[in-house]
Copies of this chain bind each other. A is one copy, B any other.
Amino acid sequence: MEEQAVIRALGALAQETRLRILRYLVTMGPAGAAAGDISQEVGASASRTSFHLSTLADAGLINATRASRSIIYRVDFDAMGGMIGYLVRDCCKSDPRVTTCC
């Protein structure tokens, strides 16, 4: 992952509602969750949730697929791994104080 993509991903996660959305989607695994469910889960309005979902999707951290009337969102674990790998390796030169944490 290149620097600009990493910056977007970091910015996407640096927000309470979005971090909660991501955590929720992680727990939902491959099944994912519909926008409406996410909205309820994180206690945010539909439009606010939609905005944050777009931000996460633009950053490549989640994917959207339509299923009938709902739109299902899922975590892109590879993108998360890409971002974290950048931080650990490119940024922190795989310093042991960093790598031991994972």
Contact = CB atoms under 8 A, between A and B. Distances in A.
Contacts of A85: 101-102
Copies in the complex: 2
Interface string A62-83: 0000000000000101101110
B88 A102 contact: yes
A26 interface: yes
Nearest to A15: B7
A57 interface: no
B92 A87 contact: no
Interface of A: 3, 6-8, 10-11, 13-16, 19, 22-23, 26-27, 75, 77-78, 80-82, 84-85, 87-95, 97-102
